[in-house]
Structure 1
Amino acid sequence: MSDPYLLAASLLTTNPIAAPPPPTLPLNLLDNLSALFVSTVARTLQSGVTQQTIPIVETSSPEFSVSPNRVQAATLTTHSQTFAKPQSPVLSPTSGTQLYYQRVAALKAGKIYTRLSSDSFQSSWAKSSKALTKPTHEQWKYLLAQEAKAMAKGQGTNRLSILVGDSLTLWFPSQGLSNNQFWLNQGISGENSTQILNRLSAFSQTRPNTIYLMAGTNDLRQGVSDRVILDNTRQILRRLRQTHPQAQVIVQSILPMRLGAIPTERIRNLNQQIALIAQQEGAGYLNLHSLFVDDEGQLRRDLTTDGIHLASSGYDVWQQGLQYAEFVIAAN
């Protein structure tokens, strides 16, 4: 991909997106997700963490919290956020290579990838992956940076949310995102928290209202220590808060897995520490772990394809978590 692709930025709409009528928040959604929200993590937990050690912090499982300076004693109300339930398309990319070429085609056409149907630009990618040159990690980074530059120029007065993470984020179906704002997907397959930290500048010129971070899954698979994961998480949150002071930054919990080599207790402890770091850094925390875990502390079989990655049903659950977070943010 070459620099002329930046010309696509001029094609992005700068007019406000018409918001649909406010939906009614389903009662069953409140029943299932109300536990995700608490105002803050108990401040007494802070005494349990030092710069030298990472103790197991026993908590009442803090769930979703907006940053302290934005928390109000508000009643959740409905608003103009509308999330479409992800649908199974007739044809959509099934490999990272196909997805890459679809997104390249969208950018060249001046389109926002996250606002297109998943079967768009078939002539660019609907062929065997063997017939397409597999993109390198650097090419993925370049593509995402160009998408971010185009968004920065074409956002106008529209709201923007950014998803940051690895392959779990990369494959979040666009049909599951609210359609009355822009979304920028900054997920790259295989990345660990260090790699995510090192590419935050790619979207530094955007003006997001909300940034959702998920990091740590690949660190665990690659044998990275808890200390590195937590230090990187803190640095990512701190940098996002500094670069985007107007945005609500939300770190999402590490999802459970079905890998014997990674103890379920380790993931639980990491998430407790991440929740505390989020509070200390003025960020929000969204506990998706509790929605995905089974009675044995592992990723529910019905939500995964291989014990790590998510099936469409898994993304449906994640979508509900984001939907609830968006409702809470709008109510504060």
Structure 2
Amino acid sequence: MTAPTVFALTFASAVLPTPSVSVPPTSLPPEKFPISITEPRIASSPLSSTVSVRPEVEIQPEFSSEVAPLVSVPRSGGQLYLQRLSALKIGKLYTRLPSDSFREIWQNSSVQPTYEQWRKLLALEAKAVSRRNGDRQLSILLGDSLSLWFPGDRLPQSQIWLNQGISGDTTWNILARLPDIANTRPDQIYVMAGVNDLKMGASDAEIIWNMQRILKQLRAMHPRTKVIVESILPTRTPRIPSDRIININQQLQELARQEGATYLDLFAQFADHDGQILSEYTTDGIHLTAQGYATWQTVFQDSDTRVAAAPVLAN
């Protein structure tokens, strides 16, 4: 029998916006990390995160409906934020709970947490996971809104999933957030980034350079972890030509090989004959529909064996 995974986290003052939360009893899986949380207050306190010669890109988090149009699941960034905070308060990760958990808390909320508050919440989740007991594997999703909105019930439940995606994030900001997962001891890390860099005018070379630094830092932090570089998905926006995405993906594939990571090609599964994302897979030309995430889930499942068999190249 697999030993229960136990987490432990205590923090005196979380800088997170939330109303007073009363959490009802519910039937929950065995993974639990006892925590003691004083009621958070609405505030914004930037975290220190210096990145080389260029500062982090200022991010305005997106608060659009990017998931299936169901009233039983969070449909805005603020609603998802409150769901995750509520889960953390009872010692759980939201990815291990039903998708409609704490609905009475978030369903009528219009709160819009800042980028700094999102990062603080994700850092607290990572800190909790770092104190886990048990032998269940841990996988991390590291990226932007595409990773953020991956439905928890579509992730393989044989392992723990720590979602470290933030809406609007770029390779620069992801690089700055890496210290937040330094102590998590993951088995796999899935990295998808670059589309927001393209939206903001970054060059192909800049994206590849940042991705190389991300991979090198991940390898230094977690030398025995399998790192999976996911391709940039196709889009339906003239601001991001498909030939640029194809070119960057080719470079990402070679970069993954050089850095001892595994490359996971999602582009081919999502693109039409013109190199654009299939219309049924996207809500707005970039973000995904439920069908899009179902396809991503299929690629995850199909790649499990290949990822498991891939060697880990420690420095």
Q: TM-score range by the shorter chain?
A: 0.7 to 0.9
1:211 aligns with 2:198: no
Q: Which moved more, 1:101-110 or 1:148-157?
A: 148-157
Q: Does 2:97 correspond to 1:116? A: yes
CA distance in 2, matches of 1:144, 1:273: 29
Tell me by how many angstroms 1:290 deviates.
0.4
Letter in structure 2 aligned against 1:303: Y
1:103 to 56, 65, 84: 84
Deviations 1:276-295 (A, max 9, x none): 11111111100100000001
Q: Distance in 1 between matches of 2:69 and 2:216?
A: 37
Q: Is the 8 A contact 1:12 1:155 kept in 2?
A: no
CA contact (8 A) 1:5 1:108 kept: no
Query: How many angstroms apart in 2 are the aligned matches of 1:314 and 1:152?
Result: 31
Matched, 1:157 2:135: yes
C-alpha contact 1:255 1:289 (8 A) present in aligned 2? yes
For residues 13 and 110 of structure 1, what CA distance do their matches in structure 2 show? 5
The residue type equivalent to 1:310 in the other structure is L
Query: Is the 1:164–1:214 contact (alpha carbons within 8 Å) kept by the matching residues of 2?
Result: yes
Separation in 1 of the partners of 2:266 and 2:13? 36
Q: Quick one: structure 1 residues 113 and 102, their matched pair in 2 at CA, closer, same or farther if it must change by over 3 Å?
A: same
Deviations 1:74-133 (A, max 9, x none): xxxxxxxxxxxx99865110000100011011001101111111110123211042xx3x
2:280 matches 1:272: no
Q: Distance in 1 between matches of 2:93 and 2:239?
A: 39
1:325 aligns with one of 303, 310, 315 = 303
Structural mapping, 1:211-250, within 5 Å: 211-250=189-228
* Aligned position for 1:35: none
Rounded Cα–Cα distance in structure 2 between residues aligned with 1:329 and 1:268: 22
Rounded to whole Å, the distance in 2 between the matches of 1:155 and 1:172 is: 25
| CA distances 1:237-288 after superposition (whole Å, capped 9, x unpaired) | 1111111111100100000000112211111000000101111111110010
Give the residue type in structure 2 aligned to 1:326.
D
Alignment of 1:172 with 2:153, yes or no, is no
User: How far, CA to CA, are the matches of 2:236 and 2:289 in structure 1?
Assistant: 14
Question: Which structure shows the bigger proportion of residues in helix conformation?
Answer: 1
SS in 2 for 1:278: helix
Residues 37-56 of structure 1: pairs in structure 2 closer than 5 A: none
Matches within 5 A, 1:248-263: 248-263=226-241
Percentage of identical aligned residues: 51
- Give the Cα separation in 1 of the matches to 2:247 and 2:68: 35
Note the C-alpha offset of 1:216. Answer: 0.1
Q: Deviations over 1:3-51 (max 9, x none)?
A: 2489xxxx9548xxxxxxxxxxxxxxxxxxxxxxxxxxxxxxxxxxxxx
Aligned to 2:56: none
Which whole-Å CA distance do the structure 2 matches of 1:234 and 1:155 have between them?
A: 32
**Corresponding position of 1:26:** none
Matched AA of 1:94: R
- Among 83, 102, 106, the alignment partner of 1:125 is 106
Task: Name 1:72's counterpart in structure 2.
Answer: none
Larger relative contact order, structure 1 or 2 (CA cutoff 8 Å, min sep 6): 1
Name the aligned partner's letter for residue 314 of structure 1: G
Q: Aligned pair count?
A: 253
Aligned to 1:3: 11
Structure 1 gaps, min length 5: 15-85
Asked if the contact 1:256/1:264 (under 8 Å) is kept, the reply is yes
- Aligned AA for 2:155? L
1:281 and 1:97 mapped to 2: Cα distance? 36
Would you say the 8 A contact 2:69–2:75 is kept in 1?
Answer: no
Conserved? CA contact 1:152–1:205, under 8 Å: yes
Native 8 Å contact 2:78 2:109 kept in 1: no
Output the CA distance in 1 between the equivalents of 2:180 and 2:142: 11
